Amino acid sequence: MIGVAREGLPVTIAGLGCRVPDRVVTNDELSQYVDTSDEWIRERTGIRERRIAAPEEALSDLALPAARKALERAGIEGADIDLIIVATVTPDMAFPSTAAILADRLGAVDAAAYDLSAGCTGFMYALAQGYGMLAAGLAKRALVVGGDVLSRILDWTDRSTLVLFGDGAGAVVLETADSGGFLGFELGADGSGGENLWLPGSGSRIFEDPDRHVKMNGREVFKFATRVLVQSAEDLLERCGVAVADVDVYVPHQANLRIIDHATRKLGIPSERVVINVDRYGNTSSGSIPLALADAEADGRLRAGSLVLMTGMGAGLTWGSALIRWTKETAV
């Protein structure tokens, strides 16, 4: 799916917030659980450390402070929100949705609220849905959350997945604007590659193997990721009539520094325009892009008028890009 945002009302990001757990887990600490090393992890992935949720911390405990911050930044209250979408593969529980839990905690009594599952691409899908609802006039203000507590579904004896992921959440408030905001979206899915990154036994399909942890074919996912990060971004830029040289801030999914470097080189984006935090957080799945946006905001890189390109990819296999003309001056 690809589309240019020219039909409906302009929609922009009016506020941004994020939260990661307090506990820092270094590569050295992981080498106590599995046969790995700081050197291997840094060389192959660029990751130095990640945040891991405390046993009592669920997704909504990270999403709630992130959402509160985003609301505060947008200068609105929970009651002003009429749509909440939480992109995640690790909700507090299958139901009620984490979005409904958040709606209750935030006092968003008039909000429609649901969770969305698109792997690490979830935040991009959720942004597109929020955009669509606002552009069509169905909702006035949306809270879009991306976050995961992947540490709960990792096999802590499997070095091929354990070292890659971390926990975290980010949230944005979407509002209509006079001009600027989202220029377009490109989203896709290829279910034929689904078994390269999956969680068998987590739903209604019965598997003989009761081991319910993330399973991944790292090499295949690597090939997929390097391809779609480039293709999705190029297709969207072309459809929007925007040259890659005009992109001020590039926010790729933070899965692996080698994947990001490859995409950045192929796209021809100067490295100083790329936002990177995979070194500090690892791959936080749906939290990755909003956490990186929050970093770019804190660095003063998100200026009114900046052109921001985001691309995610992940389980499904799925991918998605969004292009936005930032409308709000960064509060440093």
Ligand X SMILES: CC(C)(COP(=O)(O)OP(=O)(O)OC[C@H]1O[C@@H](n2cnc3c(N)ncnc32)[C@H](O)[C@@H]1OP(=O)(O)O)[C@@H](O)C(=O)NCCC(=O)NCCS
Q: For 175-240, where are the alpha helices, taking DSSP H only?
A: 218-240
Which residue, 43 or 238, has its beta carbon nearer to ligand X? 43
CA torsion through residues 280, 284, 287, 288, sign: positive
Q: Identify the three-state secondary structure at position 209.
A: coil
Does 221 participate in binding ligand X (rule CB under 6 A)? Answer: yes
- Contact status, residue 214 vs residue 199, Cβ threshold 8 Å: yes
Name the E strands within the chain.
Answer: 2-4, 11-19, 24-26, 49-51, 83-87, 112-116, 141-149, 167-176, 181-189, 197-198, 215-216, 249-252, 307-314, 318-325
Which residue, 125 or 326, has its beta carbon nearer to ligand X? 125
Does 142 participate in binding ligand X (rule CB under 6 A)? Answer: no
Does 225 participate in binding ligand X (rule CB under 6 A)? Answer: yes
Nearest-approach distance from CB 283 to ligand X, in angstroms: 6
- Contact status, residue 86 vs residue 147, Cβ threshold 8 Å: yes
- Site size toward ligand X (CB under 6 A) is 20
Maximum separation of any 2 CA atoms in the chain, in Å: 55
Query: What is the rounded distance in angstroms from the CA atom of residue 179 to the CA atom of residue 133?
Result: 17
Does 114 participate in binding ligand X (rule CB under 6 A)? Answer: no
Does 287 participate in binding ligand X (rule CB under 6 A)? Answer: no
User: Using CB under 6 A, which of 210, 219, 245, 272 touches ligand X?
Assistant: 219
Catalytic residue status for 120: yes
Q: Which residue has the closest beta carbon to ligand X?
A: 218
Does 159 participate in binding ligand X (rule CB under 6 A)? Answer: yes
Does 36 participate in binding ligand X (rule CB under 6 A)? Answer: yes
- Contacts with ligand X by CB under 6 A lie at 36, 40-41, 44-45, 120, 159-160, 163-164, 216, 218-219, 221-222, 225, 255-256, 283, 314
**Catalytic amino acids?**
120, 253, 283
